[in-house]
Structure 1
Amino acid sequence: MNRPFFAFGQTLPDIAIPVLNERAVRAAAGLLFLGGIVAFMNAWLIGNFGPTRVFVLAFLMDFSIRLFVNPRYAPSLVLGQWMVRRQQPEWTGAPQKRFAWAIGFVLAGVMAFLVILKGLVGPLNLLVCALCLTLMFFETAFGICIGCWVYNRFNVEQAKLCPGGTCAYEPSEHERQGWGQLAAVVVAVAAVGGLAPLVAPDHMPAAPTVEAASPAIQSKPQDAAEAERCKVPEFAKAMGHEEKWKLHNHCE
């Protein structure tokens, strides 16, 4: 079958709308989530924003190919399709996925502007990155496309062929969770919370400190520009984020 190079979704003879393989889409979301969480942890824990910039660039390129060329050639979807190649496809409507991916593309563009072009560090980056990770996590872990849900709220023509049949499916009474199941979750959380202090002490032993032996070892005074650059902003102090802000901006 001859497939056009520029297209969005696959046309099947027995389905009226273009479709995508939901299994490949979820696998691609999982791959991107893995890369995103690694980059996020590098930035958050050790102040290394290099992986974040690389990931944002890759994310923006991937979603640009999805939207403006063809999802078949987006690297994450190519790898995702290969990983689920032995699974029967689950077809889902392409129009709502296009809308959801447009949201991802906008978020990627914002991150590229903030992190790559401007080199900014602050709560806005954190919020945008956390939103991207949340969308990908729900997609890959639960098969829930939040962008598709938004599509249905703003589009007169409702989405068709939703993953898991969520467009029309209503759970029966015996499929719904009861109070007993909820109680089991509460008991489990309480048990973990009660045992946590036993397995995770409140503090770790302090690392040994080495006192300076001579004035030469003492830290040299910062110049005025560096001192001004490392002045912790009020929003970071208000968030209790002072030490993390210093770490992220490579300030002592």
Structure 2
Amino acid sequence: MGFLPEYGEKVAGYEVRVLNEREARAAAAILFVGAFIGLTNGVMLQTAVFSKYFVSFFTLDFLIRMLNPRYAPSLMLGRFFVQNQVPEYVGAAQKRFAWGLGFIIAVPMFYYLVIAFEPNPLKVLVCLICMFLLFFEAAFSICLGCKIFNFVMKEKATHCPGGVCEVHIKENVQKFNPIQKIILIVTVVAMLYGTYSYFVDLKDRTIFVKKMKELFLSDETLEQMQYEKDAAEFENDDF
């Protein structure tokens, strides 16, 4: 077999070529950790050295995934960790489409972080979107790119992670009773409020925090906070 055989693996019992979703989820978790380390280094240490190496690896990895996933470094790392688990096969076509979207996201990140270093909040947002997609795949086996595949492609995807592409009826264990719904809503509201409170109370020592406060707070609140800050600095000045 050459480097570019037919995409995906032919497995008995499946009418389409497939890939092992367990490997993909493990690889997504590995990449999420790398992206998280890069982001925290940038925000807390004000350095992009790690991010430059990681984005270079990420871009190359997704390029190889689009050509032949057998040789993608992150997928081979994922295989190493899950090699003793029973494979969970999913359609290769929609995974290739999703990884193509990942590569599209990776190219501008590579250019602005590695070739022409120009960090700004918009590029940080792109990184956060990438982390969001990786986290959803690793934690919940939700491939958002695979869902987009069904909207734009004439031939619908089959054998999606968790069987979400096939019509099925939820079991009772998958449903929420009224008390569970209330707890779920309260939990989500508490998490959102906690995130809001965190960024409001956080000291704006980095550009990232300042930009997040601009997103969360109104202009009047920002002006009041700046006024109080200037007043406090004026009072502490030694004459």
Q: Could you say whether these structures have the same fold, taking a TM-score greater than 0.5 normalized by the shorter chain as the test? A: yes
Sequence identity of aligned pairs in percent? Answer: 39
Deviation at 1:173, TM superposition (A): 6.2
Give the superposition deviation at 1:176: 1.3
- Rounded to whole Å, the distance in 2 between the matches of 1:236 and 1:22 is 37
Q: Please, what is the CA RMSD of the aligned residues?
A: 3.0
**CA 128–187 in structure 1, closer or farther in 2 if over 3 Å, else same:** closer
Q: What does residue 111 of structure 1 align with?
A: 109
Instruction: Confirm whether residue 88 of structure 1 aligns to residue 63 of structure 2.
Output: no
Cα shift at 1:114? 1.1
The residue aligned with 1:54 is 53
The alpha carbon displacement at 1:158 in A equals: 0.4
Q: Which residue of 1 aligns with 2:236?
A: none
Q: Which has the higher helix share?
A: 2
CA distance in 2, matches of 1:129, 1:193: 20
Structure 1 alignment gaps of length 5 or more: 195-201, 205-231, 242-252
- The structure 2 residue matched to 1:102, chosen from 87, 100, 103, is 100
Please list every run of at least 4 consecutive aligned residues from structure 1 whose deviation after the TM superposition is greater than 3 angstroms.
185-194, 235-238
Structure 1 residues 14, 44: closer, same or farther in 2, change over 3 A? same
User: Displacement, 1:64?
Assistant: 1.2
The 5 A counterparts of 1:1-252 are 3-7=1-5, 8-68=7-67, 70-172=68-170, 174=172, 175-186=174-185, 239=214
- Please give the alpha-carbon distance, in whole angstroms, between the structure 1 residues aligned to 2:104 and 2:191: 39
- The aligned length equals 204
- SS of the counterpart of 1:239? helix
Alignment CA distance shift 1:183-1:143 (3 Å): same
Deviations along 1:115-165, one digit per CA (max 9) or x if unpaired, are 111100112211110111011000000000000000101111100111111
Largest Rg, 1 or 2: 1
Structure 2 gap segments, 5+ residues each:
194-200, 217-239
Give 1:179 shift: 2.0
What is the rounded CA distance, in whole Å, between the counterparts of 1:4 and 1:112 in structure 2?
28
The separation in 2 between residues aligned to 1:203 and 1:129, in whole angstroms, is 21
Moved more, 113-122 or 145-154: 113-122
